[in-house]
Structure 1
Amino acid sequence: MVALLEPLQAPVEPVDALRRIAFLLERTRAGTYRVEAFRNAVKTLRTVDGAELAARADAGTLQELDGIGKSTSGVIAEALSGELPAYLASLQEKAGGPLVEGGGGLYGLLRGDCHLHSDWSDGGSPIDEMVLTGVETGHEWMVLTDHSPQLRVANGLTVERLRRQLKIVDGVNRSLAGQFTLLKGIEVDILDDGSLDQTDEMLGQLDLVTASVHSKLRMNEGPMTKRMVAAVSNPRVNVLGHCTGRLVEGSRGVRPQSDFDARAVFEACVEHDTAVEINSRPERCDPPDELVALALEIGCLFSVDSDAHAPGQLDMKAYGCERAEALGVPTDRIVTTWDVDRVREWAAPG
């Protein structure tokens, strides 16, 4: 079951200290440049022999290594000396606790996540780092859902790149058999006519498909409703991602929600067993409360997802859990509380 990470104690390996700092910065939405300093330092340390690292720390030459600056060298030196780095200790105290007060009961029942990204599209970390963090935070399964080809701004995956990614997912599952399952997935764009931005042949190789609208968000209500109903009715689609497309805060500014007949869309979701995502990112908070209530009344399944673009953002499901619990969404109607076998059976077409 998903849980908060226990604070690290001294002694701690330098890589572990740097990874935890990056995680804590990500979960509290620190600036990308701050996070990258620690993630890049991890990459460097994984190429440096331990003896050389210790020698450089003694000589005060850590910053001569690529990607190591004043802050990261200080963390490394303190860890090598057997101390808990002061910056890590401070972050754990300030940012290591629950992100929100409510939703803790549901958060502890989560097993998976149907929506997350790696550096294959617009995420900030490689697949193995997303998986390692997922394992450390108690996930039993996650679905890798990098973007589809049309979303070029997010480096969406072509057929060829998706094929290569699926082989990597197979390798992950071979190495972690019995511990964790990485399901094959995609966040596929819903095109203007409701079709999906990936070939049927490739969609057929995936375990789970999250479908989202990313373009022409201001389409008129009638065409947008038809577009979304067509997508959620597709037997390959399992989750309707961030359905209104709204932004309520954050660096990208605010954006109004799309106009569509929510009742018609949610009724189609029920008819075709497609879950409505409760997107946990604070800047999205999507769907709004009144639409969650409507989907609940109509009988929809839900998926509380992180939409994580970095490892620390996997914890953002806490925000979605707070809302779902407050709105009375039954646990058994939340697919991210199900075990992986049940998820696979539900997600399989037909």
Structure 2
Amino acid sequence: MDPVAALNEIAFRLERELAPSFKFQAFRKAAVTIGDLSREELAARVADGRLKAMKGIGGRTFEVIRQSLDGGVPDYLADLRERAEANAPGGAELRAALKGDLHSHSEWSDGTTPIELMVDAARALGREYLALTDHSPNLTVANGLSAERLTEQLGVVAGINDRFDDFRLLTGIEVDILETGELDQTSEMLDRLDVVVASVHSKLRADSATMTERMLGGIQARHTNVLGHCTGRLVTGSRGTRPESEFDAERIFAACAANDVAVEINSRPERQDPPDRLIAMALEAGCLFSIDTDAHAPGQLDFLALGAERAAANGVPADRIVTTWPVDRLLEWTTAKR
């Protein structure tokens, strides 16, 4: 097995399992360290011990490289593959219908990797499109993008899209819904984007009336395409748990349906947002849905399968899910209100 491919796949699978970042970053760094070495040179450095002395190579990564050069799948990778197969989610038919993902982050805000690595992973997973939705300026803790930085990012996205005929990186933003209900970016800037995901990230314990009015403002904004992780809950994970925000769900989902805003089914294991009862309410209200990963690392793009499982279990029809649509239909929908 190619050692670089083995290291990168291990990093991907560790990201998929929500392992601590230092673990998967160690494998990515090792892949970069040996990336320019020929197989022959790499084998020579393994044999005489020089590889262990290279910066970025530890005991585990050395063993993965050695076993790859010996011609087999490294034990560590085999174990990760076996775990993934044992925990494979359901909803296979709906998962196969998904063409893209409208919520992802890069190192430009609070993601862990360059945009290019996110694109490589999305393409490897068979996606036809991915929206890059780094955070807006108000979320300073996540290094949110000013209008100037977002403008710079649009140029990077254009350069990436020049390289592919079978994949589209969509320009986008996860924009904060401010306490006033306004969106945290200029209208002129939002006009330039393919996809706008609007989310609440602060004052999550506000009373129901306050939160409802705040969310309605974001939903009714003409640029909003997707209402992100609507309850803000956390059900597991390293950040602990967090209860759902309180709001008038009937009014919120009626507004989403009336304003052609999709309700996000956030696929992150620690979010699982919205809960099943709210998916049922949104379905009854006539809402569209967007199954998204909210990925902050390449391996997390595979979370889409978890969202598909939840949507299928709750009876959400594929055609009501905008991420099953071809990119031309999707973009016609995202830009229709602007």
Alignment TM-score, normalising by the size of structure 1: 0.92
Q: Which residue of 1 aligns with 2:308?
A: 321
Match of 2:196 among 201, 209, 213: 209
Say which of 69, 76, 83 aligns to 2:72.
83
Q: Deviations over 1:129-165 (max 9, x none)?
A: 1111111111011101111111111111122221121
Inter-partner Cα distance in structure 2 for 1:66 and 1:200: 47
2:13 equivalent in structure 1: 24
Report the Cα distance in structure 1 between the residues aligned to 2:128 and 2:186, rounded to whole angstroms: 29
Q: CA deviation at 1:170?
A: 0.6
Write the mapping of 1:1-350 to structure 2, written as runs, cut at 5 A: 12-46=1-35, 48=37, 52-96=41-85, 99-100=88-89, 102-176=90-164, 178-350=165-337
**2:193, 2:78 → 1: CA distance?**
41
| Matched-pair contact (CA < 8 Å) for 1:24–1:96 | no
How many Å separate the matches in 2 of 1:46 and 1:241?
A: 38
- Given residue 106 of structure 1, which amino acid in structure 2 is its aligned partner? L
Structure 1 residue 97 displacement after superposition:
5.6
Find the residue that maps to 1:175 and give its secondary structure. Answer: coil
Once the two structures are superposed, residues 253-293 of structure 1 have per-residue CA deviations (whole angstroms, 9 ceiling, x without a partner) of: 11111111111111111111100001111111111111111
SS of the residue aligned with 1:187? Answer: strand
Helix, strand or coil: the match of 2:101?
A: coil
Q: Is the 8 A contact 1:236 1:349 kept in 2?
A: no
Q: CA RMSD in A?
A: 1.5
Deviation at 1:80, TM superposition (A): 2.8
Letter in 2 for 1:186: I
Aligned partners of 2:176 and 2:184 also within 8 Å: yes
Q: CA, structure 1 residues 120+45, in 2 after alignment: closer, same or farther (shift >3 Å)?
A: farther
Tell me the distance in 1 between the aligned counterparts of 2:273 and 2:60: 37
1:64 Cα deviation after fit: 2.1
Secondary structure class of the residue paired with 1:342: helix
Letter in 1 for 2:312: E
Shift of 1:221: 1.4
Cα distance in 1 for partners of 2:34, 2:177 equals 41
CA–CA separation in structure 1 for the residues paired with 2:42 and 2:141: 38
| 1:51, distance to aligned residue in structure 2 (A) | 5.6
Residues in 2 aligned to 1:122 and 1:44: alpha-carbon distance in whole angstroms: 24
Unaligned runs of 5+ in 2: none
| Counterpart secondary structure, 2:162 | helix
2:10 is paired with a residue of what secondary structure? helix
Instruction: Read off the aligned partner of 2:154 and give its amino acid letter.
Output: L
Residue deviations 1:76-113, cap 9 Å, x none? Answer: 2222333322222222222246532x211111110000
Compared with structure 1, are the counterparts of its residues 160 and 49 closer, same or farther at alpha carbon in structure 2 (3 Å cutoff)? farther
CA distance in 2: counterparts of 1:292 and 1:185, whole angstroms = 24
**Contact 2:288/2:320 (8 A) holds in 1:** yes
Q: One-letter code of the match for 1:219? A: A
1:323 Cα offset (Å): 1.3
Count of matched residue positions in the alignment of Structure 1 and Structure 2:
337
Find the residue that maps to 1:108 and give its secondary structure.
helix
Please say if residues 235 and 349 of structure 1, whose CA atoms lie closer than 8 Å, have aligned partners that are also in contact.
no
TM-score (norm 2): 0.96
Structure 1 residue 52 displacement after superposition: 4.4
The answer to whether the 8 A contact 2:290-2:322 is kept is yes
CA separation of 1:59/1:96 partners in 2, compared to 1, >3 Å: closer, same or farther?
farther
Rate the CA distance shift 1:21–1:334 in 2: closer, same or farther, 3 A.
Answer: same
Tell me: CA distance 1:192–1:44, structure 2 relative to 1, closer, same or farther (3 Å): same
